[in-house]
Structure 1
């Protein structure tokens, strides 16, 4: 009971921007004089499902936000309707708070309960531009990771990336215009090349020198492997439809899923 009361006080301090109060409770937590979950969620009508970080971001208390982040608050934890702290800061136009959250690796592509990412909920053009830049940075990091895993033959990482709810562009390119399939081909990474082809990579894509994967194949064995897969029709050319969808269940309430419709099969992630 005392723990719940302390956490409600913690939430109230975050809502009101009471930095000394926040610091006092965090210090008590460090000294083990108080049991506080820094990511506790409100139970009352006014803060139901919101963490202290959600509240501080929504009301624009930058100093409290920074204190919570330094103490280890989960920057991407959603509330009961799927909003992250970044959604709340963007919605209320808190530019400095948005910048601070992004510095602490807030994800700009989290989808909430109404299928919106943070940039969709703001009316502030400057914040929207910041979030679009952050979104593209996140996407590019994943693309570079995909290119690297194809080059290095890291099939495990490559498969994990392709199996994400929102995977990176399978035909993304490096500075030379090479796709992940190009990279796998010229480095002789046959297993990665096969995985990419079966996941829908375009074998006819050309790099900046006008070369396809067949031109860059490291040896005759790789070329035969590529040609065999393409000629057997194992590559996927049927259009894939995917997107966010919220589904309600009796026991777990509303949950966010990434739904993929491909080859007549509906998959939930």
Structure 2
């Protein structure tokens, strides 16, 4: 409705009807595009797109999607008890201090990376977002990365593969190791998670596909913050916090999710481990 049409309508109606006219016009201006015009295609299997309907899950009207029954949210008492009891939980404390929400639906790799970089306590760059305080931010992440490796425009559309993020992180003063899940046994995969989460100076960044852990969506990145041997599960700090909370996931399901083939690289997903290195401060 144009401004002129709105004013003419207001002149012709009573006060109660006037309120209805204004609300209708306002809601129309804020309404989302029709599904056909607003649909995002997950061709690359990187974007964490909305696939709740396809998975038979209804979106909650006032928050994120419901947590699948095979997962335990950290906000549940069981999830909190598991974190405290876990022997391998040292990654949680620094990561939780810098927990971020990805700034768009394809920036899961970026949000995961800046969480880890800030949590490592290495020298931070100048920040355009916080001029007086050096900080790793999603806005400035690509500043020191070769645009041929990754750039903001491309990643905003496609996300990043395992090898791509590993190479991008090598531009920072950190030690980077990449592991495709297809090259690991379940035992080796579990050992990587257990050993890494036992430290506060290295972090496991998981590239996985949501459907294998019962969630709605495609390829995704998030850090793993703890491992509980009793339940053989790992704590996933989901950077798409508008969609899912932090959850405990059985390692067997994480392994299957990390083995899922990335449509862009044609290789399995997996883990990137980023840690401090000598003279990194």
Q: Establish whether TM, by shorter chain, passes 0.5.
A: no
- Bigger helix fraction: 1
**Bigger relative contact order, structure 1 or 2 (CA pairs below 8 A, ≥6 apart):** 2
- Bigger strand fraction: 2
Q: TM-score band (shorter)?
A: under 0.3
Larger Rg computed on CA atoms = 1
